[in-house]
Every structure is written in structure tokens, then in C-alpha cells.
Structure 1
């Protein structure tokens, strides 16, 4: 089988479960000390025009690591799919009474954002499913690689005090499984004929600025198109446990630079996925970014060890 493992749905589920547990147990450094830690919720969508998300307290769990939070549960109806097949993924969000949620606050034009990522962070999808009247969400998806995946539902229940939530659940994709290494850190990504250069860096427990600059055929792209009400969307996932951070850009646009303010929940290695729209199509550029522990980050204006300077904290 060309050195590939034939992975069944059951084996993929085991791989996803134990892979996540292994990442949580081995590679996640603690957050900064309490006196250095801003208060507030980490993860989920940033505010319109602000793009910053404050870190969670040390006893809180970063976004996407829990299937249930604040009385809401992500119920994945299709926990297994087949690699290379176009299939429908179905799920619901249930409240603490077990009822399906049918009322959501719209954020950036959508009631709910669905993110799929493989546990090796080489596959990524940003989807916008359709909600049926009974609260069941569905969307078609085709995933080319077998293995363990994580499904993230990013939403805000309407009329509730829970605020924005990001719930996560494991997804197993059966087929020929070929383990892949995390791509090496690099400040440049090429996608669909576009060149994206990442300036700035993530910092553990502190806000930092990320400034990707987009060009095509050697010329800066200055006419980016709004995508879901913004000129760019950024998702960061921590390697190992896939802790989730989703922010939106600061004011500005329409290119070539899209500025984001973000806070990494801890030291570690992160995979960044930038969605931007140009020429009527959405493109996704990906970066691997290491984040040093706070003691090694060089103080208030210290950068990460990506080789690019960190932005000023907001």
C-alpha cells in the first residue's frame, strides 16, 4: 500500500483520541504568571475592527479543547468520514436541557463558523454549514487524507450570557493513512499564485501583532475583497492538542497588509491559517510559528523565535 497504513474509522478514532491526549500531556507550557496576565476570554471570534482576544486565566481551557462549555455541547452526528469521498457532515449544538439550539447571534454574516483541521495540521477547511429548522447543521466536505481530525464550532448563542464559544469534537477519516510532519517554520507562504509574507509574531500570554502582506506576480495586492465582512480571517491552532484561536483584523485594508492582534495561550508551536478573498475566490495561506516561553520572549517588546519582530501589544 505504498508504505501507507490502511486506517479504519475505528483506528482513526483511536488515533485522534490518543493523539490529542498525548499533546495535552506533553507539550503545553503553562500560561504567564497571574500578575502579568490580562483578564478575559481567549479564543473565538474577535470583535469587529479590533481583532484581539485576551488570554484565558491559568485554570481555564483554551478554545476548542472541550466538547461542552457554559451549558452548551457540540453533538457531532457524523464522527466518521471516508478519505477522498464527498460526504455530508452533520452536527447540532445542544443546551443544558438537551435541546438543539436554534437561535444564534450572527457574526461576520454567519450564525456559526465550522473549522476542520487534521491533527497533523496539514489539512484545513473553513466551512459555513446550513442550519435546519430543528437546529441540525450540515455541510458537504471532501477530505483528501485519512487520519484524525478536529471539528471546531465557533458561535455565539442568541440572548445568552455565555458569549462567544468554540467547542471541539474528534472526527475520524478512514482510508490510507500517511503520517505527515508539521511543516517547518517559514515567514513566506505561496498559494494559488499569491505570495504572503508574515511579519510580526505570537507571544505567550501577551497581545502581539501579525501583519501578513499579500502580493501577486511581484506586485502588492491592494484590492482585497471583503470576505464575511473583513479583509482577512486568521485561525491559529496549537500543535499537539489543537487549542484554537480565531481573530479578525484590525482596522485597515484593502491590502496589501492585513493586521491582526492575537494572544497565544501558551508557548509551543502554532499553525496559522489566513483566509483572504481576491479575484472572486477565497485563498488560504498557512504558516508554522513557534512561540517561546515568556521568560525567553525578551520582555514587553520581545519577539517569537520565528526571526520576525513582534508587534506592539494593544
Structure 2
């Protein structure tokens, strides 16, 4: 038999051909036996809702193609740096406005070994806040604009990291991702509650997780923090959260499959704990003080699920 080529798989015995991975995905090795071996290509991540491979959003990157339905998302650029959509390397990250790259000159130098230069590029930018009285109004700056050192009358720069000279009012800053402010004059930002997220700065409200999903912690900053609730699993084909079928359970909120009940046990659809698994008909638990499920002895029977004793014939 011929192993399936990279970028394809065969998940049934007796195949006469291999199935190509979905668009935007590939498999690294030959001989793949499941669609789950198909990964998003570099610069993309898997959307947990649709299952499609999407370009990494600005400020993130993905240089690996190992992300699965369980672990979706792109790596975040170093602090105070960002990147364009679809970036595939940490070296694509550049400093945000209001910051400058203190190591740009060293990285651009031709001196040093290839290994040293490669290591410096892989580390990404060393973004530092512009000092008071200076500003940087564009991304990728290597120096700060000193024009703000002498701001004209009626303007000021009250703190480091400014992107311009402020003409009036307090130096307000946007609420960070994962938080919001829904009123004027706020002095603090409110973290998004569990089950919601905010993936943009300056939000006035948080977005609820898709139906059947929740986020465990407060302050979620991405839809990727939303997971299927207990008793459900994520369908790898559609990305939807489906109830665990009978005889299985899921007490985690990040699995793409449900766990089977122990032998001779069954559970109702949507079960979220092994405690929901009960002895099936013909079996009982706790027989003669033992653990697990045991078949009724000769001359007795059990016609209900979850029984602890057998009935005499």
C-alpha cells in the first residue's frame, strides 16, 4: 500500500485514493490517517467556530503549523509591538506608535555570526516607551520624534509613550483588550466577565461567547478563550459545540472528543462527569460490597439503569 502524501489523509481501510486536506491546511508527514493531522499553514490559525484557517490578526503571528482544534490561535507579538495580518514570524513584529525599537541598530549591523543575527531576529523588537516630551506617531519607529520636547502653547505630553502632543483634557488611554469602560470619566477599566471577551482596545462592552461556549476566567481578550461547556465537545468539521452522545461524558471544556464510560456503564447524552455513568440493565453496582458493575447472578435480573440490587425471578 502507498502512504498518503503530505497534505492528504485516508481515515478508512481499503482506500483507493487519499483525501486532500481542507483549503489552507496541510499535513507535515506522509501516511496521515485522520483529518486531525491536517494543520493550518504558517501565518494562519484555526477558527474554533467555523473550523476554517484564517490569517493571523494584526499583532500576532504563527510560524508553526501544529495548531489543532483544541489549541487554536496565533502567538502574540512581544509587548508594545504589533504586526500586519497574516504574519508568520516573530521578526514581522514592529513597535507600536509611542514606542521605539532600541535594538534595531544592533540587528541591522552586518557584524556578528549568522547564528547571532538569526537569534536577534527571532527575538523580535525590544520596544521601549518614548520619554516624556517626545513621541512616535507610527509603527516600526527606531527613534522618537523630538518635536514634542517643546510642545506649543496649549499642548502637553504628560507621560512616556505618547503618540502626539495632547492639546487639552486628560491623557486618556484606551481600555486594553479583555476589558471595557461603559461610561465617561472612568478611572479604571472593567475586566470582561466569564463567558465573554473583548478583542479590541477601547471597548465599551464585551462580546458574549458563541452559543454553547464559555470562557473560564474573567478578562478574556479573544474568542479563542471561549470553550465548549462541560457535557459537550467541539465538532472538528463544523466547529460547533455538540452534546456528548450517550455512553460518554466530558468534564473538560477544551476537548474535541468525549470520554467513554467504564465497562458495563452508560450515561445520558450531554453528561459532564464520570459520576453520570451508571450500570446498564442486567448489571448492578455495589454487589456484595464490591466496586464497579457486576452482572446479576443466575435466578435474578435488573431492568433499570443505575440499580444497586438485582430482582429475583
Is TM more than 0.5 here? no
Bin the TM-score by the shorter chain.
Answer: under 0.3
Q: Flag the structure with more relative contact order, 1 or 2, with Cα contacts below 8 A and sequence separation at least 6.
A: 1
